[in-house]
Amino acid sequence: MEDVQETKRQFKTKTDLAKSLGIGSRQTLYNRAERNGIDLDKLSFTEEELSILSGKKTSVTTEQSSGRMIQDRQEKEALKALKRELEIKNKIIDNLEQDKADLSKKLDKSQQLQDQQQQLSLKDRAELDKLKIELDKYKKIETEEVVIQPSEAKKTPTNTDKTVNKTSNVQLDKQEDKPKKHWWNIFN
């Protein structure tokens, strides 16, 4: 135990410790002690602890912590790269979703127009069929008139026609038998 006490050095204050190690600020001393897990409140240190606090020697803990720091830094850089890549991919996904929505709208519009075209085509076909039926009726009527007209030209007078003709002839005869009246005969 005496060997352990001989290798330890005792300091009155933390400022004395910092001056003997050649450290200009107490903050540096605190940082090094915290990093290496050395308790500054005991004010008694071994040569190895003093060497670590002075910065000349690194402890296993310091090497491990710097290895962790390097690893942490690399992980942070990798994380940043992944975040950038994720942002780019998210933008691509957003653009693709927008394109999909636009195409969906265009497809819906196209289908709507196609439906309207089919409806109009069916409507036009129905109207065309109606017109064909009417045209056929008119052709049929026209053909019947053409057939009737030649028979009327060759037609012989019927009894009604004779009666009408006789009546009109009798009326004409009666008118001829009557003397014509003139206005001056009114006074006679």
Does any domain span residue 41? yes
Tokens at 17, concatenated: 């410790």
pTM: 0.34
Can you state the angle between helices 26-36 and 60-153, rounded to 10 degrees?
80
Residue ranges making up the domain that contains 30 = 2-57
Q: Would the CA dihedral through 171, 176, 182, 186 be positive or negative?
A: negative
How many domains are there within the chain? 1
- Give, for all 188 residues of the chain, the pLDDT tens digit: 444 445 788 888 888 888 888 888 888 888 888 888 888 888 888 888 888 888 776 555 556 666 777 888 899 999 999 999 999 999 999 999 999 999 999 999 999 999 999 998 899 899 999 999 988 888 888 777 655 555 554 555 555 555 555 555 555 555 555 556 666 666 65
Does any domain span residue 7? yes
Residues contacting residue 165 through CB under 8 Å, at least 6 positions apart: 157
Does any domain span residue 46? yes
Does any domain span residue 47? yes
